[in-house]
Amino acid sequence: MPSLLEEIAILKNQISAAHLPKSIQEKAEGQIERLTRLSGRDYTLEADMTIRWIDWVTSLPWENRAPSSQSSLDLIRAKQILDRNHYGLDDVKQRILEYLAVMKLRQTPNAPTNNQQLTTNPGHARAPILLLVGLVGTGKTTLAYSIAQALNRPIVRIPFGGMGSARDLRGQSRLHAEAEPGQIVKGLKLAGVKNPIMLLDELDRVADEARHDIMGVLVELLDPEQNKAFLDHYLDVPLDLSEVVFIATANNTNNIATAVMDRLEPLSMPSYTDDQKIVIAKDYLLPKAREEAGIPAEALIFDNDAWPLIVRPLGYDAGIRTLQRTIQGLSRKAAMDIVSNKNQAIHITKDNFKHYMGEW
């Protein structure tokens, strides 16, 4: 274990290499001075807490951005990504393309006229914050990942399901021995850039006892006038989140505070019909399930009249999550038959599909 003086030398190098904002660098250097005064004593808990704080501050992307920008956003490519990853959802895709177009226009500086100055700040693109609302399995989360792919930005997911304290978002004061930053800071560190996509997943599923406090933090997080100086209680320095693109999901809006909803643009996710599920199963889910099971395409074949029985084994389901699990299980069973019985291929029909699906 390095001595405290050796730790101080390492931390000084970290601070120099981190390109911190001036005010934050001054605060970090002040912490180094405190550590230096402690260096004549035994390695203390206070020293350990200070070292952890500097490690966190210097690991954040204060100036690092994703290399691409919205000025080069190609809506044709974005549409191709959406069509490749999602079947149907035409109205939803159109709204998302409009959303991306707004980002592109607000990113691109307007040409000055007469003595006017540029009216936008390159690097800061804002559009209404999307809230994807729909039942389980209707594609909310995967759509968010497709938007991130279209924008060429890393995406980090912050799960709100069961979140029991606002500290999970905002962190806890480092005066507490076990304190750590909140999910927002952890997400920035994971993304490695200051302008990632942040997916606020399942906003309606926070714990009831913490709902009021969490919604209060969300109001600050989603308000462009406030999130440019977001305060995490552990770091205790302002974070500029104005370049983060937030996307939220929820099963419904009943448990989301009105003040939060005012900052979101709801986008309803439709349920899938049986005909749409058959196309999704054939063209999207089955190829992936076959690949995961190690089965060549020609070794697992389905009759067309078997699909209606496969997509609805237990009655109507709005999403495709159950269908995905069904096809994955069916593919594993087929893989076992291929290996055990030395079959060259498995042919699924309306007469034998139950053997591969199991008992319902």
Residues 155-201: pLDDT tens digits? Answer: 999 999 989 999 999 999 988 878 999 999 999 999 999 999 999 99
Give me the chain's average pLDDT, please: 86
pTM attached to this predicted model: 0.84
pLDDT of residue 120: 40
Q: Does residue 192 come out as left (phi exceeding 0), alpha (psi in the -120 to 50 range) or beta?
A: left
SS3 147: helix
pLDDT of residue 117: 44
- Greater confidence (107 vs 154) lies with 154
341 φ/ψ angles, rounded to the nearest 5 degrees: -100, 5
pLDDT of residue 125: 53
- Name the β-bridge partners of 158: 200
Using pLDDT thresholds of 50, 70 and 90, give the confidence band for residue 114. Answer: very low
Q: Which of 104-108, 343-347, 350-354 has the highest mean pLDDT?
A: 350-354
SS3 222: helix
pLDDT of residue 315: 58
pLDDT of residue 108: 52
Q: Beta-carbon neighbour count of residue 290 at 10 Å?
A: 19
Residue 205 near residue 161 (C-beta atoms within 8 A): yes
How does DSSP classify residue 139? S
Length of the chain: 360
- Name the β-bridge partners of 200: 158, 248
Q: Which domains does the chain have, with CATH numbers?
A: 4-59 (no CATH), 70-107+122-268 (3.40.50.300), 274-357 (1.10.8.60)
The token duo for 121 is: 């700040």
Q: Beta-carbon neighbour count of residue 38 at 10 Å?
A: 16
pLDDT of residue 155: 96
Residue 213 near residue 165 (C-beta atoms within 8 A): yes
pLDDT of residue 19: 86
Residues 207-244: pLDDT tens digits? Answer: 999 999 999 999 999 998 899 999 999 999 999 999 99
Burial class (CB in 10 A: 0-12, 13-18, 19+), 247: buried
Q: Which of 108-112, 127-131, 299-303 has the highest mean pLDDT?
A: 299-303
The token duo for 139 is: 């594609």
For the cut 80, the answer to whether the pLDDT of residue 5 exceeds it is no
pLDDT of residue 124: 52
Residues 304-344: pLDDT tens digits? Answer: 999 998 887 655 677 888 899 999 999 999 999 899 887 78
For the cut 90, the answer to whether the pLDDT of residue 91 exceeds it is yes
The secondary element (H helix, E strand) that includes residue 268 is strand 264-268
